A = this chain, B = another copy of it.
Amino acid sequence: MNSPTAKTKVAIIGATGYTAIELIKILLRHPHVEIVAATTRQEDAPSISSIHPSLTGRLNLNCELLDPAAIAAKADVAFACLPHVASMESIPLLLAEGLKVIDLSADYRLIDPDIYEQWYGHVHTDPTRLGTIVYGLPELYRKQIPNQNLIANPGCYTSTAILGITPLLCSGFLSPKGIIIDGKSGVSGAGRTPKLGTLFAECNESLTAYSVGNHRHTPEIDQVLSDISGTETEVVFTPHLIPMDRGLLCSIYAPAIKETTEQELMQVYRDYYQGDHFIRIVDHLPRTKDVAHTNFCDITVRLSRGTIQIFSALDNLIKGASGVAVQNFNLMCGYNETTGLTDLY
Protein backbone atom coordinates (compact mmCIF):
# COMPACT_ATOMS: atom_id res chain seq x y z
CA MET A 1 0.00 0.00 0.00
CA ASN A 2 1.29 3.41 -0.94
CA SER A 3 1.66 6.01 1.75
CA PRO A 4 -1.54 8.02 2.00
CA THR A 5 0.18 11.22 0.96
CA ALA A 6 2.12 9.84 -1.98
CA LYS A 7 0.87 11.02 -5.35
CA THR A 8 1.34 8.79 -8.35
CA LYS A 9 2.35 10.63 -11.49
CA VAL A 10 0.39 9.59 -14.54
CA ALA A 11 0.46 10.28 -18.26
CA ILE A 12 -2.43 10.14 -20.69
CA ILE A 13 -1.22 8.69 -23.98
CA GLY A 14 -3.63 9.81 -26.70
CA ALA A 15 -5.57 12.56 -25.01
CA THR A 16 -8.05 13.69 -27.63
CA GLY A 17 -10.79 11.09 -27.46
CA TYR A 18 -13.78 10.43 -25.24
CA THR A 19 -12.14 7.83 -23.01
CA ALA A 20 -9.26 10.25 -22.37
CA ILE A 21 -11.44 13.12 -21.26
CA GLU A 22 -13.47 10.84 -18.97
CA LEU A 23 -10.27 9.46 -17.52
CA ILE A 24 -8.88 12.91 -16.89
CA LYS A 25 -12.07 13.97 -15.11
CA ILE A 26 -11.91 10.95 -12.84
CA LEU A 27 -8.20 11.39 -12.15
CA LEU A 28 -8.66 15.08 -11.31
CA ARG A 29 -10.64 14.05 -8.27
CA HIS A 30 -8.40 11.13 -7.35
CA PRO A 31 -6.60 12.11 -4.16
CA HIS A 32 -3.42 10.22 -5.00
CA VAL A 33 -2.91 11.15 -8.65
CA GLU A 34 -1.12 13.92 -10.43
CA ILE A 35 -1.54 14.17 -14.21
CA VAL A 36 1.87 15.19 -15.50
CA ALA A 37 1.66 14.59 -19.23
CA ALA A 38 -0.77 14.14 -22.09
CA THR A 39 0.13 13.25 -25.65
CA THR A 40 -1.40 13.86 -29.06
CA ARG A 41 -0.20 13.52 -32.63
CA GLN A 42 -0.66 17.27 -33.11
CA GLU A 43 2.71 18.98 -33.46
CA ASP A 44 1.71 22.37 -32.10
CA ALA A 45 1.48 21.32 -28.44
CA PRO A 46 -2.11 22.37 -27.91
CA SER A 47 -3.29 22.98 -24.38
CA ILE A 48 -5.49 20.19 -23.08
CA SER A 49 -8.31 22.68 -22.54
CA SER A 50 -8.28 23.70 -26.20
CA ILE A 51 -8.97 20.07 -27.06
CA HIS A 52 -11.48 19.59 -24.24
CA PRO A 53 -12.93 23.00 -23.31
CA SER A 54 -14.66 21.47 -20.29
CA LEU A 55 -11.19 21.31 -18.69
CA THR A 56 -10.74 25.09 -18.80
CA GLY A 57 -9.38 26.19 -15.47
CA ARG A 58 -9.15 22.62 -14.24
CA LEU A 59 -6.03 21.18 -15.82
CA ASN A 60 -3.22 23.39 -17.04
CA LEU A 61 -1.19 21.22 -19.34
CA ASN A 62 0.12 21.38 -22.89
CA CYS A 63 -0.01 18.20 -24.90
CA GLU A 64 3.19 16.76 -26.27
CA LEU A 65 4.18 14.28 -28.95
CA LEU A 66 4.63 10.76 -27.65
CA ASP A 67 8.25 10.25 -26.59
CA PRO A 68 8.44 7.22 -24.30
CA ALA A 69 11.63 8.30 -22.58
CA ALA A 70 10.31 11.79 -21.93
CA ILE A 71 7.09 10.35 -20.52
CA ALA A 72 9.03 7.94 -18.31
CA ALA A 73 11.11 10.81 -16.97
CA LYS A 74 7.94 12.41 -15.61
CA ALA A 75 5.42 9.69 -14.98
CA ASP A 76 5.09 6.37 -13.19
CA VAL A 77 1.98 5.07 -14.90
CA ALA A 78 0.66 5.55 -18.44
CA PHE A 79 -2.94 5.20 -19.50
CA ALA A 80 -2.86 4.34 -23.20
CA CYS A 81 -5.97 5.69 -24.92
CA LEU A 82 -4.71 4.99 -28.42
CA PRO A 83 -6.54 3.23 -31.25
CA HIS A 84 -5.68 -0.41 -31.79
CA VAL A 85 -2.49 -1.03 -33.78
CA ALA A 86 -1.11 2.33 -32.59
CA SER A 87 -1.34 0.93 -29.12
CA MET A 88 0.74 -2.20 -29.69
CA GLU A 89 3.34 -0.08 -31.44
CA SER A 90 3.82 2.24 -28.47
CA ILE A 91 3.24 0.07 -25.45
CA PRO A 92 6.39 -2.04 -25.71
CA LEU A 93 8.38 1.20 -25.76
CA LEU A 94 6.61 2.56 -22.71
CA LEU A 95 7.14 -0.70 -20.83
CA ALA A 96 10.80 -0.72 -21.81
CA GLU A 97 11.16 2.66 -20.16
CA GLY A 98 9.84 1.19 -16.93
CA LEU A 99 6.36 2.60 -17.00
CA LYS A 100 3.35 0.70 -15.79
CA VAL A 101 0.70 0.75 -18.50
CA ILE A 102 -3.04 0.37 -18.62
CA ASP A 103 -4.06 -0.19 -22.22
CA LEU A 104 -7.57 0.92 -23.06
CA SER A 105 -7.32 -0.41 -26.62
CA ALA A 106 -8.03 -3.96 -27.71
CA ASP A 107 -4.45 -4.82 -28.58
CA TYR A 108 -3.58 -6.92 -25.54
CA ARG A 109 -6.98 -8.38 -24.74
CA LEU A 110 -6.90 -11.48 -26.93
CA ILE A 111 -4.58 -14.34 -26.10
CA ASP A 112 -4.17 -15.72 -29.57
CA PRO A 113 -2.45 -13.56 -32.22
CA ASP A 114 -4.22 -15.47 -34.99
CA ILE A 115 -7.60 -14.55 -33.57
CA TYR A 116 -6.37 -10.97 -33.27
CA GLU A 117 -5.39 -10.97 -36.92
CA GLN A 118 -8.64 -12.60 -37.97
CA TRP A 119 -10.88 -10.05 -36.24
CA TYR A 120 -8.73 -6.92 -36.45
CA GLY A 121 -7.17 -7.44 -39.86
CA HIS A 122 -3.64 -6.72 -38.68
CA VAL A 123 -0.72 -8.96 -37.82
CA HIS A 124 -0.02 -8.57 -34.11
CA THR A 125 3.42 -6.99 -33.70
CA ASP A 126 3.97 -8.01 -30.09
CA PRO A 127 2.71 -11.61 -30.12
CA THR A 128 5.00 -13.03 -27.46
CA ARG A 129 3.54 -10.74 -24.85
CA LEU A 130 -0.01 -11.86 -25.68
CA GLY A 131 -1.19 -14.56 -23.36
CA THR A 132 0.77 -13.17 -20.44
CA ILE A 133 -1.39 -10.09 -19.95
CA VAL A 134 -4.06 -9.96 -17.29
CA TYR A 135 -7.52 -8.96 -18.50
CA GLY A 136 -8.46 -6.00 -16.38
CA LEU A 137 -11.93 -6.85 -15.21
CA PRO A 138 -11.42 -6.60 -11.46
CA GLU A 139 -14.62 -8.39 -10.53
CA LEU A 140 -13.20 -11.51 -12.21
CA TYR A 141 -9.42 -11.10 -12.02
CA ARG A 142 -8.92 -8.89 -8.99
CA LYS A 143 -6.17 -10.98 -7.42
CA GLN A 144 -4.04 -11.06 -10.54
CA ILE A 145 -4.00 -7.33 -11.23
CA PRO A 146 -1.70 -5.97 -8.49
CA ASN A 147 1.98 -5.92 -9.41
CA GLN A 148 1.32 -6.26 -13.14
CA ASN A 149 3.12 -3.87 -15.45
CA LEU A 150 0.56 -4.05 -18.21
CA ILE A 151 -3.17 -4.51 -17.95
CA ALA A 152 -5.52 -5.03 -20.89
CA ASN A 153 -8.53 -2.90 -20.02
CA PRO A 154 -11.76 -4.54 -21.25
CA GLY A 155 -14.11 -3.41 -23.98
CA CYS A 156 -17.40 -1.81 -23.04
CA TYR A 157 -19.74 -4.42 -24.50
CA THR A 158 -17.55 -7.18 -23.17
CA SER A 159 -17.62 -5.95 -19.57
CA THR A 160 -21.37 -5.48 -19.66
CA ALA A 161 -22.02 -8.89 -21.15
CA ILE A 162 -19.46 -10.79 -19.11
CA LEU A 163 -20.55 -9.29 -15.80
CA GLY A 164 -24.11 -10.25 -16.68
CA ILE A 165 -23.42 -13.79 -17.85
CA THR A 166 -20.65 -15.08 -15.61
CA PRO A 167 -22.56 -15.86 -12.42
CA LEU A 168 -25.17 -18.01 -14.16
CA LEU A 169 -22.74 -19.62 -16.59
CA CYS A 170 -20.39 -20.60 -13.78
CA SER A 171 -23.20 -22.06 -11.73
CA GLY A 172 -24.59 -24.18 -14.55
CA PHE A 173 -27.80 -22.41 -15.42
CA LEU A 174 -26.72 -21.58 -18.96
CA SER A 175 -25.39 -23.65 -21.82
CA PRO A 176 -22.03 -22.31 -23.06
CA LYS A 177 -23.26 -22.26 -26.66
CA GLY A 178 -25.75 -19.89 -28.17
CA ILE A 179 -26.23 -17.28 -25.48
CA ILE A 180 -27.87 -14.32 -27.23
CA ILE A 181 -26.45 -10.91 -26.34
CA ASP A 182 -28.46 -8.03 -27.73
CA GLY A 183 -26.15 -5.08 -27.03
CA LYS A 184 -27.32 -1.48 -27.17
CA SER A 185 -24.84 1.36 -26.90
CA GLY A 186 -24.83 5.14 -26.92
CA VAL A 187 -22.96 6.81 -29.75
CA SER A 188 -19.91 7.93 -27.76
CA GLY A 189 -18.83 4.27 -27.92
CA ALA A 190 -18.03 4.84 -31.59
CA GLY A 191 -15.30 7.34 -30.81
CA ARG A 192 -14.56 10.95 -31.64
CA THR A 193 -13.25 10.60 -35.18
CA PRO A 194 -15.70 12.21 -37.62
CA LYS A 195 -17.58 9.55 -39.61
CA LEU A 196 -20.82 9.70 -41.58
CA GLY A 197 -22.49 7.07 -39.42
CA THR A 198 -21.99 8.98 -36.18
CA LEU A 199 -23.12 12.39 -37.40
CA PHE A 200 -25.96 13.75 -35.33
CA ALA A 201 -28.34 13.95 -38.28
CA GLU A 202 -27.63 10.32 -39.16
CA CYS A 203 -28.04 8.59 -35.83
CA ASN A 204 -30.42 10.91 -33.99
CA GLU A 205 -34.00 9.64 -34.25
CA SER A 206 -32.62 6.40 -35.62
CA LEU A 207 -31.85 2.91 -34.49
CA THR A 208 -30.02 0.09 -36.17
CA ALA A 209 -28.02 -3.03 -35.55
CA TYR A 210 -24.47 -3.01 -36.87
CA SER A 211 -21.49 -5.34 -37.30
CA VAL A 212 -23.85 -8.31 -37.05
CA GLY A 213 -21.81 -11.49 -36.79
CA ASN A 214 -18.48 -9.71 -36.92
CA HIS A 215 -18.17 -7.25 -34.04
CA ARG A 216 -14.70 -7.39 -32.54
CA HIS A 217 -15.92 -7.77 -28.99
CA THR A 218 -17.23 -11.24 -29.86
CA PRO A 219 -13.96 -13.20 -29.52
CA GLU A 220 -13.17 -11.22 -26.38
CA ILE A 221 -16.44 -12.27 -24.75
CA ASP A 222 -15.93 -15.88 -25.85
CA GLN A 223 -12.38 -15.94 -24.50
CA VAL A 224 -13.13 -14.52 -21.08
CA LEU A 225 -16.27 -16.56 -20.52
CA SER A 226 -14.43 -19.70 -21.60
CA ASP A 227 -11.60 -18.91 -19.23
CA ILE A 228 -13.73 -18.07 -16.24
CA SER A 229 -16.19 -20.96 -16.69
CA GLY A 230 -13.66 -23.53 -17.77
CA THR A 231 -15.86 -24.46 -20.74
CA GLU A 232 -15.52 -23.35 -24.33
CA THR A 233 -18.14 -20.69 -24.74
CA GLU A 234 -19.49 -19.16 -27.91
CA VAL A 235 -21.97 -16.34 -27.83
CA VAL A 236 -24.16 -14.65 -30.43
CA PHE A 237 -23.43 -10.97 -29.97
CA THR A 238 -25.34 -8.29 -31.86
CA PRO A 239 -24.68 -4.61 -31.17
CA HIS A 240 -27.11 -1.76 -31.82
CA LEU A 241 -26.51 1.97 -31.99
CA ILE A 242 -28.86 3.96 -29.73
CA PRO A 243 -29.44 7.70 -30.16
CA MET A 244 -27.95 8.78 -26.85
CA ASP A 245 -24.51 9.96 -25.80
CA ARG A 246 -23.62 7.31 -23.31
CA GLY A 247 -24.94 4.23 -21.64
CA LEU A 248 -24.85 0.59 -22.63
CA LEU A 249 -27.42 -2.10 -21.98
CA CYS A 250 -27.03 -5.77 -22.78
CA SER A 251 -30.24 -7.80 -22.92
CA ILE A 252 -29.09 -11.38 -22.66
CA TYR A 253 -31.24 -14.40 -23.50
CA ALA A 254 -30.68 -18.11 -23.00
CA PRO A 255 -32.80 -21.12 -22.10
CA ALA A 256 -32.54 -22.17 -18.47
CA ILE A 257 -30.84 -25.57 -18.62
CA LYS A 258 -31.98 -26.56 -15.17
CA GLU A 259 -35.16 -25.95 -13.22
CA THR A 260 -34.98 -22.68 -11.33
CA THR A 261 -36.80 -19.58 -10.16
CA GLU A 262 -36.13 -15.87 -10.48
CA GLN A 263 -35.50 -15.75 -6.73
CA GLU A 264 -32.82 -18.40 -6.97
CA LEU A 265 -31.20 -16.69 -9.94
CA MET A 266 -31.17 -13.33 -8.19
CA GLN A 267 -29.51 -14.97 -5.21
CA VAL A 268 -26.79 -16.39 -7.44
CA TYR A 269 -25.96 -12.83 -8.49
CA ARG A 270 -26.05 -11.44 -4.98
CA ASP A 271 -23.71 -14.16 -3.80
CA TYR A 272 -21.34 -13.89 -6.73
CA TYR A 273 -20.90 -10.14 -6.44
CA GLN A 274 -20.90 -10.03 -2.64
CA GLY A 275 -18.46 -7.25 -1.75
CA ASP A 276 -18.11 -5.89 -5.25
CA HIS A 277 -18.75 -2.22 -4.70
CA PHE A 278 -19.49 -1.35 -8.31
CA ILE A 279 -21.94 -4.13 -9.10
CA ARG A 280 -25.48 -3.41 -8.02
CA ILE A 281 -27.91 -6.33 -8.22
CA VAL A 282 -31.20 -4.50 -8.53
CA ASP A 283 -34.79 -5.70 -8.37
CA HIS A 284 -35.98 -3.26 -11.00
CA LEU A 285 -35.06 -3.29 -14.70
CA PRO A 286 -31.83 -1.28 -15.02
CA ARG A 287 -31.95 2.08 -16.78
CA THR A 288 -28.75 3.36 -18.35
CA LYS A 289 -29.59 6.79 -16.95
CA ASP A 290 -29.15 5.49 -13.42
CA VAL A 291 -25.58 4.41 -14.12
CA ALA A 292 -24.59 7.24 -16.46
CA HIS A 293 -21.51 9.13 -15.26
CA THR A 294 -20.91 6.47 -12.58
CA ASN A 295 -18.74 3.38 -12.24
CA PHE A 296 -21.71 1.15 -11.41
CA CYS A 297 -22.94 -1.83 -13.38
CA ASP A 298 -26.61 -2.54 -12.60
CA ILE A 299 -27.81 -6.09 -13.20
CA THR A 300 -31.07 -7.94 -12.83
CA VAL A 301 -32.46 -11.24 -14.08
CA ARG A 302 -35.89 -12.48 -15.18
CA LEU A 303 -37.25 -15.90 -16.04
CA SER A 304 -40.02 -16.02 -18.61
CA ARG A 305 -41.35 -19.03 -20.52
CA GLY A 306 -38.22 -20.98 -19.64
CA THR A 307 -35.91 -18.30 -20.98
CA ILE A 308 -33.49 -16.54 -18.68
CA GLN A 309 -33.25 -12.82 -19.44
CA ILE A 310 -30.36 -10.87 -17.98
CA PHE A 311 -30.24 -7.08 -18.12
CA SER A 312 -26.86 -5.50 -17.49
CA ALA A 313 -26.29 -1.75 -17.78
CA LEU A 314 -23.31 0.54 -17.36
CA ASP A 315 -21.81 3.76 -18.66
CA ASN A 316 -19.73 2.75 -21.67
CA LEU A 317 -17.15 5.48 -21.02
CA ILE A 318 -16.82 4.94 -17.26
CA LYS A 319 -17.39 1.38 -16.06
CA GLY A 320 -16.99 0.36 -19.70
CA ALA A 321 -13.63 2.12 -20.15
CA SER A 322 -12.10 4.83 -17.99
CA GLY A 323 -13.64 3.98 -14.64
CA VAL A 324 -12.53 0.38 -14.74
CA ALA A 325 -9.12 1.64 -15.89
CA VAL A 326 -8.88 3.57 -12.64
CA GLN A 327 -10.01 0.47 -10.71
CA ASN A 328 -7.11 -1.32 -12.37
CA PHE A 329 -4.78 1.57 -11.63
CA ASN A 330 -5.76 1.51 -7.96
CA LEU A 331 -5.14 -2.21 -7.75
CA MET A 332 -1.81 -1.96 -9.60
CA CYS A 333 -0.60 0.85 -7.36
CA GLY A 334 -1.84 -0.45 -4.03
CA TYR A 335 -4.62 2.04 -3.47
CA ASN A 336 -8.07 1.07 -2.36
CA GLU A 337 -9.87 -0.19 -5.45
CA THR A 338 -12.69 2.34 -5.16
CA THR A 339 -10.53 5.42 -4.61
CA GLY A 340 -11.65 8.30 -6.80
CA LEU A 341 -14.57 6.30 -8.15
CA THR A 342 -17.30 6.50 -5.53
CA ASP A 343 -20.00 9.11 -5.87
CA LEU A 344 -18.64 10.11 -9.27
CA TYR A 345 -22.03 11.55 -10.01
Contact = CB atoms under 8 A, between A and B. Distances in A.
Interface stretch (A36-44, A68-76, A163-171, A201-209): A201-209
Contacts of A284: 53
Given A54-B289, A290-B53, A293-B345, A240 B184 contact: yes
Interface of A is mostly: mixed
Contact of A247 (B54, B207, B306): B207
A200 interface: yes
A242 B245 contact: no
Interface residues of A, number: 77
Interface stretch (A100-108, A130-138, A249-257, A324-332): A249-257
A207 B304 contact: no
Given A203-B200, A245-B200, A285-B208, A343 B28 contact: yes
Contacts of A195: 194
Contacts of A29: 342-343
Interface in A38-80: 53-54, 56-58
A302 B251 CA distance: 19
A304 B213 contact: yes
A255 B204 contact: no
Interface string A196-234: 101111111111111011000000000000000000001
A298 B213 CA distance: 19
Given A200-B245, A236-B305, A307-B236, A54 B251 contact: no
A200 B187 CA distance: 7
A204 B255 CA distance: 32
A238 B180 CA distance: 13
B199 A192 contact: yes
A18 interface: yes
Nearest to A287: B208
A36 B29 CA distance: 25
Contacts of A57: 280, 296
B200 A198 contact: yes
A153 interface: no
B253 A236 contact: yes
Contacts of A184: 184, 207, 240
A244 interface: yes
A195, A203, A207, A304 — most chain B CB neighbours (10 Å):
A207
Interface in A275-314: 280, 282, 284-294, 296, 298, 302, 304-307, 309, 311, 313
A208 B288 CA distance: 7
Contacts of A289: 54, 202, 205-208
A205, A212, A242, A344 — most chain B CB neighbours (10 Å):
A205
A182 interface: yes
A53, A200, A242 — most chain B CB neighbours (10 Å):
A200
14 contacts: A56-B298, A186-B201, A187-B201, A198-B199, A200-B200, A201-B245, A204-B204, A204-B245, A205-B289, A207-B313, A208-B249, A209-B249, A213-B309, A344-B345
Given A53-B282, A192-B202, A204-B245, 15 more contacts: A18-B201, A25-B343, A54-B290, A56-B282, A178-B255, A182-B253, A184-B184, A186-B207, A201-B245, A205-B245, A205-B289, A205-B292, A206-B244, A206-B287, A293-B293
